[in-house]
Homo-oligomer: A and B are copies of this chain.
């Protein structure tokens, strides 16, 4: 299984690619030399499929081409799947909405789900699921193949489905909060290949609905001056059920969407991050903590509410860290326990290779058959936190 044919590398046709991307050949050559633009795969992940060598990804933003964009080359013609644009965040909802959306009358509010962002598209004869960085996740690709009816891509080979993979069988952000048994794909955007131009919210919900796709929850369209209060109400309700937050959109999708999240979601992120305190980027902690400060000011909290927020923040940081230190002191290794559920056993080693390539140290359990699928438990080891904690327990100095 996972044989893959080792074929000679297909070189990017620099002359025509530079023309297609509207940049100079010299510039494009520089990107290839510095591996900012590079082949996604060295060898095919799928037996008998050789198109892998025609797929290239942008590891950084270049001119107007976003980080994570994917270029497909076929006989001198090209397709481009644009990287998913960064969604900026409102820190104070009221002034942010009024300033950012000042030229439109209403904003649409949809749920920001807590899973991982994938773009699914038909390319090189296959439906592939791309991560934010422009890699093809073999697990997400298998799941997308199961979850999304192929006829959408037959009818619309020029479209990219953007959505959140969410649910417990999620090797990145497993969440039980959505009442999903395994993993599901929630559409939040449909965009054109090449330009990356999005469908309007209404057209997107209509088209995705036509093919029976699940979509993120739509909370309504609000007049701009009512939106801050409405969104605050929605956020408070979402917080209670531990959901993440909202994305606020120009219904026409001309302006980029912006996001806003619940305190409970910040704290849940912190709890997870501080379990692996030495593996997580410090800006991850910092940004979440700062959000708490701004939200408290915006909500004009009284002493009792503020005290509650302080306590929750402190707990979200200290409890998981203390738990990890104790575990390591007692000789255990801390790990992020996740699982995947696959239909095809071949997906397992392919996914294992993929994680290895990402530098993730993971131990795969024995596949357990459930119906016509297999559940595989995966222990993702957080080596830096394990090592640091162990060395402190042995009396090393910081």
Contacts and interface: CB of A to CB of B under 8 A. Distances in A.
A398 to B, nearest CB: 5
A97 B311 CA distance: 33
Interface size class of A (residues with CB under 8 A): 35 or more
A297 B395 contact: no
B306 A313 contact: no
A397 B96 contact: yes
A23 interface: no
Secondary structure type dominating chain A contacts: helix
A277 interface: yes
A199 to B, nearest CB: 23
Contact of A311 (B89, B293, B307, B322): B307
A344 interface: no
Contacts of A315: 307, 310, 314
A88 B318 contact: no
A342 B285 CA distance: 41
Contacts of A64: none
Contacts of A392: 91-92, 95-96, 294
Given A290-B277, A392-B91, A395-B97, A296 B283 contact: no
B314 A293 contact: no
Contacts of A309: 314, 318
Interface string A137-176: 0000000000000000000000000000000000000000
Interface string A310-333: 111111011101100110010000
Contact of A100 (B95, B100, B258, B395): B395
A393 interface: yes
A322 B306 contact: yes
Interface string A38-82: 000000000000000000000000000000000000000000000
- In this complex, the member of A97, A309, A329, A397 whose beta carbon has the largest number of chain B beta carbons within 10 angstroms is A397
Contacts of A289: 285, 317-318, 321
A292 interface: yes
A341 B88 CA distance: 47
A398 B277 contact: no
A99 interface: yes
Interface in A270-297: 274, 277, 282-283, 285-287, 289-290, 292-294, 296-297
A394 interface: yes
A205 B364 CA distance: 60
A181 interface: no
Interface of A: 88-92, 94-100, 258, 274, 277, 282-283, 285-287, 289-290, 292-294, 296-297, 306-307, 309-315, 317-319, 321-322, 325-326, 329, 392-398
